Chains A and B, each alone.
Chain A
Amino acid sequence: MSVDTSTGQAAPERLSAGRRVRRWLGANALRVYMGIAFVYLLLPVAYTFLFSFNDAGRTNLTWQGFTFDNWLNPCGAPQVCQSVVNSLTLGLLVTLVATILGTLIAFALVRYRFRGRSTTNLLIFLPMATPEVVLGSSLLALFLNIFVPLGFWTVMIAHVMFCISFVVVTVKARLASLDPRLEQAAMDLYASEAQAFRRITLPLVAPGIAAAALLAFSLSFDDFIITNFNSGQFTTFPKFVYVSATRGIPPQANVIASAMFFIALALVVIGQVIGVRRRKG
């Protein structure tokens, strides 16, 4: 299939069409593949965004016409804003508790050798590996059996439970890459244990803790299955969307979802910019 070298000059116009396509693909296949992958990833988001401008009457399933009304009045649909506030409150509280507990566990696992350490390491992975349906229904059974009324607190307990695993794994990875000699060097330079932790260890592990916190927040905010089992009358945003799907999702849900997407995007971009600046400075 190679170009005849004996003639010495294989002019491009003499290539067959099939060969030209193949050559073009050879040079651009990766780009084409990437483009298709991005379309696949972002099409649903684009659809959601587009339909947030739908002048929907009762249901947001078909395009009825363009309007800004949904964006100007995002709380227009009943309960939609209350569910968002619920989700945010829950997410923040879960993040706080799970990050603190998970970070402490990660330190214990990396820094100390104790009985049951490897068992703990293994058990920490279990909530991540267990199907959410199983976790959610088991927790429900547990709460019912010990007569805990379902609501905000049961959801919070459930979320903290599965978020801890992710926090531990994330912080542990960061801690493991931290040279323990840095702390020794700090103590050699007159820093007490507490000072060495505050001045050296904590700042160096902070990016890992921050990443863990973001992960915990997004997991909590996003969760539907476990929440649905354990929430009783308490409504989070995902649960609101699911429940309203039966009678038509209001376009305000699209507005809030789109806004969430753009806020997350902005946060990522800001984080990247700060990171690049810091590396340069």
Chain B
Amino acid sequence: MARATDVTKAQGDLYLERLTKSFGDFVAVDDLSLTVPQGSFFALLGPSGCGKTTTLRMVAGLEDPTAGRIKIGEADITELKPFRRPVNTVFQNYALFPHMDIYENVAFGLRRRGIKDVKTQVMEALELIELAQVAKRKPAQLSGGQQQRVALARAIVNRPAVLLLDEPLGALDLKLRRQMQLELKRIQTEVGLTFIHVTHDQEEAMTMADTVAVMNKGVIEQLGAPTDLYESPKTAFVANFLGQSNLFPAAVLEVDGEDIVLEDSDGRYRMPMNRVAPSVSPTRGGRVLVGVRPEKIHIERLAESDATPADGNYVDGTVRSSSFMGVSTQYEVATAGGEIISVFAQNLSARDLLSEGDPVRLTWAPRHGFVLNGSEDMNAGVEAVTAAAG
């Protein structure tokens, strides 16, 4: 496709430098610095009120930062009016112009930049979203999913340096959302634009984005590839907000070569040093949180495994509850030390199902656990997930 002449020709990575936005006493975005590489699919993930939408609106120019700079490549766009930025937004409620047909909606941006022959580009954009056949309809005559795609085409047709998506799938039902996630990813790969996607849905962020930044209370808690964030969370908030985690307090016993050895009332745990979050000081007696994902834990009847596992970490306990969920069964196991640990066991055979009161042993590989700073709130992010889901 032919590149349109941009209002500003800025190209390149997007830089947010020490960006702050306060509304009165409330600091929505707090000294945030971020680099989004050109052409990447970047997700800003966080619960409502974490500052992600405010960040997006500052990039779009709809909100003025209290402090800090925004740059695209070499160009500083902090002071530019929204209509002078090479940035387009897909709004949460789509914000399609109700009095214009789909064709005119998509052509709007091109026409405002004084491009005479818009037909080729508009039709190309409509074909990209596979909606060329509804060009003459009004937005109200389209379904939610179709309107969403039109909103996307209306932004993409301008070939912005950065495309912002503000919870674009929030209004769609679950099935359509899954479908649109794949669609969005396909379109992004096809057009190669930088996408910044704001969402509270961790699954959505992990499915689509190359890089995810988890935001909480105006700051970025952790940034990285979805698998890194999931496998090696650095804070309790990230561990709980992205998927589920078992977190329980323990104390540092010693550092033994490449490994750290921890202890709580249920026993000792050994993990490689590279599984320890940077905020943890591995001094003897230091308080930490041991984390392990429910699906990484192996559960078996205690009678069958009397011997202590050679390299694995283990905890003994009794099954407190079990819920059958089709592909897996979720167990809540109470340990002698008073912890409740949840386990997802794959349903390989219905005969293996454990029932309430069964004594069990939980084991997991050392490299599957992670160690967080003990001063953190174990439940950080749990309420946020519940709130975001509701």
Give A residues with C-beta under 8 Å from B.
Answer: 179, 181-182, 184-192, 195, 199-200, 203-204
A195 touches B99 (CB 8 A): no
- Cα distance A191–B154 in the bound complex, in angstroms: 13
- Cα distance A189–B93 in the bound complex, in angstroms: 16
Given contacts A181-B91, A184-B62, contact A192 B83 (CB under 8 A): yes
Binds A, one of B37-45, B105-113, B125-133, B352-360: B105-113
- Cα distance A184–B81 in the bound complex, in angstroms: 11
| Least CB distance, A190 to chain B, in whole angstroms | 4
Known: A189-B109, A192-B81, A204-B99; 15 extra A-B contacts, CB below 8 A, are: A179-B93, A179-B95, A181-B91, A182-B95, A185-B95, A186-B97, A187-B61, A187-B83, A188-B62, A189-B83, A189-B108, A189-B154, A190-B109, A190-B158, A192-B83
| Least CB distance, A279 to chain B, in whole angstroms | 9
| Least CB distance, B224 to chain A, in whole angstroms | 29
B95 touches A195 (CB 8 A): no
- B-chain residues with CB within 8 Å of residue A185 when the two chains form the complex: 89, 91, 95-97
Type the 1/0 row for B55-78, where 1 means its CB is closer than 8 Å to any CB of A.
000001110000000000000000
- A-chain residues with CB within 8 Å of residue B83 when the two chains form the complex: 187-192
A189 touches B158 (CB 8 A): yes
- Cα distance A86–B88 in the bound complex, in angstroms: 54
- Cα distance A190–B88 in the bound complex, in angstroms: 9
- Cα distance A189–B85 in the bound complex, in angstroms: 9
- Cα distance A191–B88 in the bound complex, in angstroms: 12
Given contacts A182-B95, A184-B82, A185-B95, contact A190 B89 (CB under 8 A): no
Give B residues with C-beta under 8 Å from A.
Answer: 7, 60-62, 81-83, 87-89, 91, 93, 95-99, 108-109, 112-113, 154-155, 158
B113 touches A187 (CB 8 A): no
Q: Give 10 closest A-B pairs by Cβ, nearest first.
A: A189-B109, A185-B95, A190-B112, A187-B82, A181-B95, A190-B83, A188-B89, A191-B112, A187-B83, A189-B108
- Cα distance A126–B93 in the bound complex, in angstroms: 38
Chain B, interface SS category: loop
- Cα distance A192–B109 in the bound complex, in angstroms: 11
Chain A residue, CB-CB nearest to B98? A204
- B-chain residues with CB within 8 Å of residue A192 when the two chains form the complex: 81, 83
- A-chain residues with CB within 8 Å of residue B97 when the two chains form the complex: 182, 185-186, 200
- Cα distance A204–B97 in the bound complex, in angstroms: 9
Chain A residue, CB-CB nearest to B99? A203
- A-chain residues with CB within 8 Å of residue B96 when the two chains form the complex: 185
- Cα distance A204–B154 in the bound complex, in angstroms: 19
| Least CB distance, B68 to chain A, in whole angstroms | 21
Sample of 11 A–B contacts (CB below 8 Å): A181-B91, A184-B91, A184-B95, A185-B91, A186-B97, A188-B62, A189-B112, A190-B113, A191-B83, A192-B83, A204-B98
- Cα distance A157–B83 in the bound complex, in angstroms: 42
Chain B residue, CB-CB nearest to A195? B112
| Least CB distance, A33 to chain B, in whole angstroms | 35
- B-chain residues with CB within 8 Å of residue A179 when the two chains form the complex: 93, 95
In this complex, the member of B7, B81, B83, B96 whose beta carbon has the largest number of chain A beta carbons within 10 angstroms is B83
- Cα distance A182–B100 in the bound complex, in angstroms: 12
CB-contact partner of A188 in B82, B93, B99, B113, under 8 A = B82
| Least CB distance, B315 to chain A, in whole angstroms | 52
- A-chain residues with CB within 8 Å of residue B154 when the two chains form the complex: 189
Chain B residue, CB-CB nearest to A207? B99
- B-chain residues with CB within 8 Å of residue A182 when the two chains form the complex: 95, 97-98
- Cα distance A185–B83 in the bound complex, in angstroms: 10
- A-chain residues with CB within 8 Å of residue B112 when the two chains form the complex: 189-191, 195
Chain A residue, CB-CB nearest to B114? A190
- Cα distance A200–B95 in the bound complex, in angstroms: 11
